[in-house]
């Protein structure tokens, strides 16, 4: 595959599925979304030749994006506090005109989960099956099931708090 | 709130871009990357010039007074001075070439890619340059009757230098690749 072909495929994937990457970025970071976004784009670009069409493009993108975000998140936690000045300025600016406060709350709750649970929640909200989640995350289906039960209970319980505060 | 409702909220997210690229921030970031590559290239140049000039000078000055000195030691010193000359010319060419780029986002990005490529080439040349220098040293050891000792020292030094150099090359390569991907993306967006 030539670099040009690789780039064309990346452009096409981004055109059709960039929402996937934005959602992952938003779920994994509050401040450094441009860094994580850039990292995911580079990893997706590198992954293009390995894509075998055994899974859909969006599943593939979720797999790459989530794995990148998990690794990035662990690395960032290690280097927390080592912020450089150029990180203060963000490459990506918020383009959302109307923000649903319930969505902001939902992202906030996702942030509170650990890296793997965040991935499970994202995939669950996206409507992936247990089997697909298991393949994307590399954990057993039964483990996915246990995690989903726990996460659902947790989110529903916290939403009661949210409702009662009337935000 | 039930989970189905959360899913509805989730699905209600706009499929339009949630973010737009801030060109000014991107330009600043590219400029900062360009400056860091330029700084790294400059450090490599100066460090190499100082080391080769110093080592060549020491060889040249001490050789006549050293028992067992031979022509290969002078050859080694000469090779080091040629390397210094190459570095000085490369540096002045690089500085001259930097005037070709304008101060726009794309100009700075092209400049950063060019600098990253230069730094990568320079590091590679410096690693491979150790090969003829090592060979001359081995000849010198052979002439002085210390072939085995010199060969072992050279081999270990070269392996170490090659390892460190290769690691540095990988960093330079990745840095250049990242800049190229960014440029391709920006070009594709235009």
B79 within domain boundaries: yes
B15 within domain boundaries: no
Q: Are residues A108 and A136 in the same domain?
A: yes
Q: Are residues A80 and A5 in the same domain?
A: yes
Q: Are residues A54 and A125 in the same domain?
A: no
**What CATH number does residue A77 fall under?**
1.10.1740.10
Nearest to B12 by CA among A99, A164, A90: A99
Nearest to A56 by CA among A1, A7, A16: A16
Q: Are residues A132 and A113 in the same domain?
A: yes
Collect the ranges in chain A with pLDDT lower than 50: 80-89, 167
Instruction: Quote the pLDDT of residue B189.
Output: 52
Whole domain around residue B57: which residue ranges?
23-189
Look at residue B176 and tell me whether its pLDDT is greater than 50: yes
- For residue A10, the chain B residue with the least C-alpha distance is B185
B6 within domain boundaries: no
Nearest to A13 by CA among A54, A60, A63, A68: A60
Instruction: Quote the pLDDT of residue A100.
Output: 72
Q: Are residues A105 and A82 in the same domain?
A: no
B22 vs A contacts (CB less than 8 Å): 89-93
Task: State residue A92 phi and psi, 5-degree precision.
Answer: -105, 130
Crossing angle of helices B147-189 and B105-143, in 10° steps, is: 170
Compute the nearest-CA separation of A103 from chain B (Å).
6
Q: Are residues A140 and A72 in the same domain?
A: no
- For residue B31, the chain A residue with the least C-alpha distance is A86
pLDDT tens for B116-150 read 889 889 988 988 898 898 888 888 888 877 777 77
Q: Which of A90, A118, A142 is the last residue of a domain?
A: A90
Instruction: Quote the pLDDT of residue A81.
Output: 43
B149 within domain boundaries: yes
Domain count, chain B: 1
Q: Which of A90, A124, A144 is the last residue of a domain?
A: A90
Q: Measure the N-to-C terminal CA separation of chain B; round to a whole number of Å.
A: 44
Cross-chain Cβ contact B32/A11 below 8 Å: no
Least confident piece of the model among A130-134, B7-11, B48-52: B7-11
The pTM score is 0.51
Best of B11, B18, B36 to disrupt the A interface by mutation (most A CBs within 10 Å)? B18
Whole domain around residue A64: which residue ranges?
1-90
Q: Are residues A17 and A85 in the same domain?
A: yes
Domain count, chain A: 2
Out of B21, B178, B188, closest to residue A91 by CB: B21
Q: Are residues A69 and A20 in the same domain?
A: yes
In the structure, what pLDDT confidence band is assigned to residue B24 with cuts at 50, 70 and 90? confident
What ipTM was assigned to the predicted interfaces of this complex?
0.74
Q: Are residues A11 and A81 in the same domain?
A: yes
In the structure, what pLDDT confidence band is assigned to residue B186 with cuts at 50, 70 and 90? low
Q: Are residues A80 and A128 in the same domain?
A: no
pLDDT tens for B58-84 read 888 887 777 767 788 889 899 999 999
């Amino acid at each position: 595959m030539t670099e040009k072909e690789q780039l064309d495929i990346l452009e096409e994937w981004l055109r059709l599925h960039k929402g996937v990457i934005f959602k992952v970025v938003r779920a994994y970071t509050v401040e450094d979304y441009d860094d994580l976004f850039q990292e995911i784009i580079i990893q997706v670009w590198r992954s293009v030749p390995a894509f075998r069409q055994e899974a859909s493009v969006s599943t593939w993108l979720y797999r790459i994006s989530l794995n990148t975000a998990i690794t990035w998140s662990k690395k960032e936690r290690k280097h927390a506090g080592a912020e450089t000045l150029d990180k203060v300025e963000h490459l990506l600016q918020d383009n959302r005109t109307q923000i649903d406060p319930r969505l902001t709350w939902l992202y906030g709750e996702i942030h509170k989960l650990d890296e793997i649970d965040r991935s499970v929640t994202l995939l669950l909200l996206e409507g992936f099956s247990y089997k697909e989640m298991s393949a994307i995350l590399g954990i057993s289906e039964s483990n996915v099931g246990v995690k989903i039960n726990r996460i659902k209970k947790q989110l529903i319980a916290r939403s009661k708090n949210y409702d009662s505060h009337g935000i | 709130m039930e989970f189905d409702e959360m899913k509805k909220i989730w699905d209600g997210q706009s499929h339009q871009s949630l973010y737009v690229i801030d060109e000014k921030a991107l330009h600043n970031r590219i400029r900062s990357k360009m400056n860091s590559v330029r700084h790294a290239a400059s450090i490599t140049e100066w460090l190499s010039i100082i080391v080769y000039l110093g080592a060549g000078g020491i060889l040249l000055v001490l050789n006549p007074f050293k028992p067992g000195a031979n022509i290969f030691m002078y050859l080694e010193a000469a090779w080091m001075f040629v390397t210094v000359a190459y570095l000085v010319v490369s540096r002045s060419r690089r500085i001259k070439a930097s005037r070709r780029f304008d101060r726009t986002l794309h100009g700075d990005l092209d400049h950063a890619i060019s600098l990253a490529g230069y730094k990568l080439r320079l590091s590679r040349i410096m690693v491979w340059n150790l090969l003829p220098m090592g060979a001359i040293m081995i000849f010198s050891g052979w002439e002085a009757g210390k072939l085995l000792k010199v060969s072992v020292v050279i081999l270990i030094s070269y392996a170490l230098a090659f390892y460190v150099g290769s690691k540095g090359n990988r960093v330079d390569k990745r840095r250049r690749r990242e800049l190229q991907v960014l440029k391709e993306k920006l070009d594709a967006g235009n």
